[in-house]
Amino acid sequence: ASSASSASSASSAAGAAMPATCKDFWADVPEAPKDPILGITEKFLADSNPQKLNFGVGAYRDDDGKPVVLDCVREAERRIAGKNFMEYLPIGGLKAFCDESVKLAYGEDAKCIKENRVAAVQTLSGTGSCRLMADFMHRFAPNAKCFMPTPTWSNHHNIFRDGGVEIQGLRYYKEDTCSLDYDALLEDINNAPAGSFFLLHACAHNPTGVDPTPEQWKGISEAMLAKSHFAFFDMAYQGFASGDCERDGAAIKIFLDDGHNVACSQSYAKNMGLYGQRIGCFSIVCADEAQKVAVESQMKAIARPMYSNPPLHGAALVNTVLSDPQLKAQWFKEVKGMADRIIDMRGKLREHLEKEAPQRTWNHVTDQIGMFCFSGMTPEQVDKLAEEHSMYMTRNGRISMAGVTSGNVERLAKAMATVIA
């Protein structure tokens, strides 16, 4: 008995000495690289200089550098407060919102809308729209390449790469003149395999602010039609670029008039100031109504396992503004006010730069349009701006004009002149 007891004790001791361990599944996971835009904000926040300035983030500010909530949005909030239940929206989102969105994008009298040929779903802002397009391409055009402007919004590459779509560069920007490289762009369109996909910025190209003229858009449309290419428009700034929603949507209408069936991503972050609501719309113009029904069903099928259904509040806000003639007119006025302030700051920045750094030409500052100015500064010069002047922007020299105010524009110009000297 004593021997058996000793053996039992030894066995227990051995068990206690070798406890079970949980496998560390994530030991080899590296830290992800910092987002190039959000990383700027981190550096800005860490700077102790009370005079520091952030020209990196693409969010509108008034001339005092303060965030803005539009009056039409406040009124829409008042109208919908307590009016909606908190139930799930359908997978495709709020239909009334989608209907208003496609009318804004394609025009209320667009033939494709009258013929009920536009498949549309509510999305998680423009990023969500682009991701749905990438997944749709991967599923139904698996061998097609997506040509993107060089440069483009950095997240475009992440979205389409993670969506399983092969990306190809599209020459777009001419560095020596800070303008559109139209001939190279057309050459790339003509040389691309027939039936390729092209991501195009409908207006206010990010990050360059360089847009084709209407005549150039017409040439791009004709070249793409000749090669049976498909155009996907990312339209994050309708109304915010020029202050005129029709003018900012002109490229899409040119393509429709030429016979293209296009796709479009819309975001209401910039033009309604609904950044945190994550509200957007993804639409595809189809050949006929039957195709629209099939395409829209597949758009919903992709959305279902991704996020199930979109949020309610932002869609209700946008629908309230766009469906009420008085609120819509007020929004047109307010979005024009935001655009006009940006345009005014471009003029002032150019004026001060021509005074402080006359050795360079600065017409590109006012030739460009929208929230961003592609300054032409090198990454090293941008680094010096941060180190010596506590001014922060992305290293490609992109200035968020929303951060430029009457109170800091002269200081910015003088600092730029110092680092480029």
Other beta carbons within 10 angstroms of residue 1's beta carbon come to 5
**Which one from 135, 188, 270, 292 is the annotated catalytic residue?**
270
Phi then psi dihedrals of residue 361, to 5 deg: -95, 140
DSSP conformational letter for 24: -
Per-residue burial over 166-180, b = 16 or more CB atoms within 10 Å of its CB, e = otherwise: ebeebbbbbeeebbb
Is 234 tagged catalytic?
yes
Q: Which of 135, 181, 211, 234 is catalytic?
A: 234
Residue 284 and residue 273 in contact, taking contact as beta carbons nearer than 8 Å: no
Contact 234, 202 (CB under 8 A): yes
DSSP H or E segment with residue 157: helix 154-162
What is the CB neighbour count within 10 angstroms for residue 151?
A: 18
Residue whose pair of structure tokens reads 């109304």 in the numeric block: 239
**258 classed as catalytic:** no
Q: Helix H segments across 173-312?
A: 182-191, 214-226, 245-248, 250-257, 289-307
First-last CA distance in the chain: 94
Q: What angle do CA 376, 381, 385 make, to 5 degrees?
A: 110
User: Active-site residue among 153, 217, 331, 362?
Assistant: 153
Residues identified as active-site: 153, 234, 270
